[in-house]
Chain A
Amino acid sequence: MSKFFISCDEATTICDKNQYGEATLFDKVKLSFHFMRCKVCKVYTKHNNLLSKIFGNYAKDHCQKQHCLSNDDKEKIEIEVSKKLK
């Protein structure tokens, strides 16, 4: 039975893994047991879920960007590389 009881530290770590879909079924059972006796971790989880939504929304904007070097930067690198090539 003691296997089911986890500390708040462990509970929040499981909660974090769960945000990425990487908590196991057993982890989730342990988390639910923990919530029955800990309101603080429940609040933490609520916040964490909301933060994940915010992170996800932010990621949507960010990942589509293709990053390039400016011509100026390329020229500078080109000069340095050709110095070494000589």
Chain B
Amino acid sequence: MAETTKHILVPEKWVQSYSDYLYNYTITRVNNHDLAKDLVQETFFAGLKSMKNFQGKASERTWLISILKRKIIDHYRKINSKKGKAEVRMNFYNDGEREGEWIEERVPNSWSSDTDKDIENKELKSTLEKCIDNLPEKYSMVFRMKTIQGFETEEICKELDITPSNLWVIIHRARTQLRKCMEDNWFNN
């Protein structure tokens, strides 16, 4: 019978060995330093609390990451339940005869400088950064994971415990708001 390695936990070395790895994992998902730092610390605390449940099957790092993933889902649920706050106004009639059609004042304007020669421009990047930061957190988190970090749809859905149709609604709203923000602050400025 093949002998499998039994992993052990050495909590005295956690911060030194894993804090950068866990922090990097978290910051690419939540994009906020203080929050990421807190989630890493909470992960260590939760790890200490449930040390007795560690069976040694997974490595210490994998085990800590599985705790961190739970923390990230909890955080996402928390921001997702804050109803009404900075909700994106929709562009389409959602009932009546004109359901699904553009609401007149939301129709995209043509852009005065819709050239793509300028996409390396530093100011353009900082305008975009500001626009992303202005998104409601639940939208910016999914948008960043999908668009900036390039995660697969399936992976995001699994990590945040949402359905693909949920994800596309969020992406659509995030992009709609970003389009409007870029229109106001860059293209027609």
Interface residues of A (CB under 8 A from B): 6-10, 12-13, 16-17, 19-20, 22, 40, 43-44, 46-48, 50-51, 53-55, 57-59, 61-63, 66-69, 73-74, 77-78, 80-82, 84-85
Task: Indicate whether B184 reaches chain A with its CB closer than 8 angstroms.
Answer: no
B100 nearest CB neighbor, chain A only:
A7
Task: Indicate whether B182 reaches chain A with its CB closer than 8 angstroms.
Answer: yes
Task: Indicate whether B110 reaches chain A with its CB closer than 8 angstroms.
Answer: yes
The smallest C-beta distance from A46 to any residue of chain B, in angstroms, reads 7
User: In the complex, what distance in Å separates the CA atom of A81 from the CA atom of B9?
Assistant: 14
Task: Indicate whether B54 reaches chain A with its CB closer than 8 angstroms.
Answer: no
B45 nearest CB neighbor, chain A only:
A84
A8-B92, A59-B147 known; A77 vs B44 contact (CB < 8 Å): yes
B22 nearest CB neighbor, chain A only:
A69
User: In the complex, what distance in Å separates the CA atom of A14 from the CA atom of B172?
Assistant: 9
Chain B stretch 131-188: residues in CB contact (< 8 A) with chain A: 146-150, 153, 168-169, 171-172, 175-176, 178-179, 182-183
- Which residues of chain A are near B116, meaning CB under 8 Å? 50, 53
Q: Is the interface of A mostly helix, strand, loop or mixed?
A: helix
- Are B125 and A58 neighbours in the complex by a CB distance under 8 Å? yes
Interface centre among B16, B110, B172 (most CB of A within 10 A): B172
A6 nearest CB neighbor, chain B only:
B100
Interface residues of B (CB under 8 A from A): 11-12, 14-16, 19-20, 23-24, 27-28, 37, 40-41, 44-45, 48, 91-92, 99-102, 107-108, 110-111, 114, 116, 119-120, 124-125, 128-129, 146-150, 153, 168-169, 171-172, 175-176, 178-179, 182-183
- Are B114 and A16 neighbours in the complex by a CB distance under 8 Å? no
A12-B172, A67-B28, A68-B23 known; A47 vs B114 contact (CB < 8 Å): yes
- Are B179 and A48 neighbours in the complex by a CB distance under 8 Å? yes
- Are B11 and A85 neighbours in the complex by a CB distance under 8 Å? yes
A8-B92, A8-B102, A67-B23 known; A59 vs B148 contact (CB < 8 Å): yes
